[in-house]
Amino acid sequence: MKKRILFILNVILFASSCFAQQTATPAWQQIFPDPLLQTYINEALENNSDLRTAQLSLEQSEVMLKQARMSYLPSVALSPSGTVTKAQNTSATYTYELPLTMNWELDFGGKRHHQKEMAGAELQKDSAQLRYAQIQLAAEVANAYYTLVMLDQQYAVTLEGIRVQEENLRVLRAMKEVGQQTAAAVNQAEANYQSVVASLPMLEAQIRKAESALCLLLNRQPETIARASWSAVRGAVMDTERAIPLEALSARPDVLAAEYQLRVSFSNVKVARSEFYPTLSISGSVGWTNNSGVTINPAQILLNAISSLVQPLFAQGRLKANLKVAQAQQEQAQIAFEKALLVAGGEVRDALADCQACSTREKARALQVEASRKAYENSREQMRYAGATYLEVLIAQSTWLDAQLQQTTDWLEKQQSYINLYKATCLE
């Protein structure tokens, strides 16, 4: 148990030093250099409904902290009152009072101090959660944007495939007229052509859905979203060779939120313990009345102070139950904090592995696309001179088309691996 507490304290101290160096880490503007994407991320950070809700939660925590700080001051109230008395055959008598009352409660267990600490930790936790929500939102916008670019390229590749299929179909029909191809080959080419054509509506639907998803993040009505072309888009930039120590991940906003939740639970235990101590209430009043003038009675104030001394003796087990619940919640927060650190390390490791795998696959995929293109062109030339069957051309053409489509998918997965690494480090 002591080792776990020392481990947590060391991590918290290291987190403070890492957090102070956050300005040296890349910002999302550097990670996502595409101008249109940067515009959309800025718009989402300003208008996203979930982010605005998190901001309101932070404002509530700020108000609660201010209230906790003011709880040290006495409460003052003004409660004017008046009466009207009238008997038969007499004039009405008007009596009024204008008392100013003050009440000041002193607790010997430091309850207010611990409540202020708890409110401060809650504020820090909400602030960290807001920063983490901003990082997640930027990542979601980037993912939706790059998905649209990928779908556009797949649509363009499919259109080009349809054009090539039409040309092949025209050639096959001409060769059939002169007896160099069979009707079965023409029918097979027609089926293959219709198969590619049938994939277009699905791509169009996917594009519309991706646009709607991005509009939701931007808090817009569904509409067409402008984006860069495949040749002009600027992909994500991340340093995948930089080693990230596990301790540095304690500066992640979600890990910080878990740390501050742990501090909240510590303060909550102290508040529960302070309930066992006595409290002393000092109250006094001064006021004006048209009945007996100004009344100031120091002896009465002293009497109120003495009579308001309360020492809890038996509260039906409520105080002990509250303490045990607070201690259990503290243990839960400690476990959650340790788990948050482990999850952070696992996410970084997985994201780095994905980045490296995508980079390696990108080179191999480019070679595959080039080789399948040459195979298709060669088989097509051989078919014209009866050196190859249409089946060979069909296989080569399908392989080339699939390789191009897979290349766009690989590109998106590479961008997503960088986005996941950005989310996993999130040290800006």
The CATH number of the domain holding residue 406 is 1.20.1600.10
Which pLDDT belongs to residue 151?
95
CB 333 within 8 A of CB 5: no
Q: What whole-number distance in Å separates Cα of residue 135 and Cα of residue 46?
A: 13
SS3 218: helix
Buried/exposed 67-101: b ≥16 CB within 10 Å, e otherwise? ebeeeeeeeeeeeeeeeeeeeeeeeeeeeebeeee
94 inside domain? no
Which pLDDT belongs to residue 50?
86
Which pLDDT belongs to residue 299?
40
**Which amino acid, one-letter code, is at 116?**
K
Query: Would you place residue 170 in the very low, low, confident or very high pLDDT band (cuts 50, 70, 90)?
Result: confident
| pLDDT > 90: percent of the chain | 24
402 inside domain? yes
291 inside domain? no
153 inside domain? yes
405 inside domain? yes
Structural domain containing residue 334: 2-76+109-276+323-425
Q: How remote is the C-alpha of 272 from its chain's centroid?
A: 32
Which pLDDT belongs to residue 427?
56
53 inside domain? yes
Structure-model confidence comparison of residues 204 and 286, the more confident one: 204
301 inside domain? no
Best mean pLDDT range from 59-63, 219-223, 302-306: 219-223
Which pLDDT belongs to residue 212?
94
Which pLDDT belongs to residue 304?
42
Is residue 2 over pLDDT 80?
A: no
Structure tokens that stand for 229 in this block: 């072309």
Is residue 345 over pLDDT 70?
A: yes
Q: What is the mean pLDDT of residues 246-250?
A: 71
Question: How do residues 277-312 score in pLDDT, each as one tens digit?
Answer: 777 777 766 666 666 544 444 444 444 444 565 666
288 inside domain? no
Question: How do residues 108-142 score in pLDDT, each as one tens digit?
Answer: 777 888 888 888 888 888 888 888 889 999 999 99
Which pLDDT belongs to residue 208?
95
Query: Would you place residue 25 in the very low, low, confident or very high pLDDT band (cuts 50, 70, 90)?
Result: very low
Q: What is the mean pLDDT of residues 252-256?
A: 87
**Which amino acid, one-letter code, is at 417?**
S
CB 139 within 8 A of CB 428: no
Query: Would you place residue 371 in the very low, low, confident or very high pLDDT band (cuts 50, 70, 90)?
Result: very high
Q: Residue 45: which residues within 8 A CB-CB, separation 6 or more?
A: 51, 134, 137, 138
Is residue 90 over pLDDT 80?
A: no
Alpha-carbon torsion (270, 129, 30, 419), positive or negative: positive
Query: How many domains does the chain divide into?
Result: 1
**Lowest-confidence range among 67-81, 217-231, 344-358?**
67-81
Q: Residue 3: which residues within 8 A CB-CB, separation 6 or more?
A: none
Buried/exposed 404-413: b ≥16 CB within 10 Å, e otherwise? bbebbebbbb
Which pLDDT belongs to residue 17?
41
pTM of the model: 0.78
Nearest partner of 428 among 13, 138, 23, 51, judged by Cα: 23
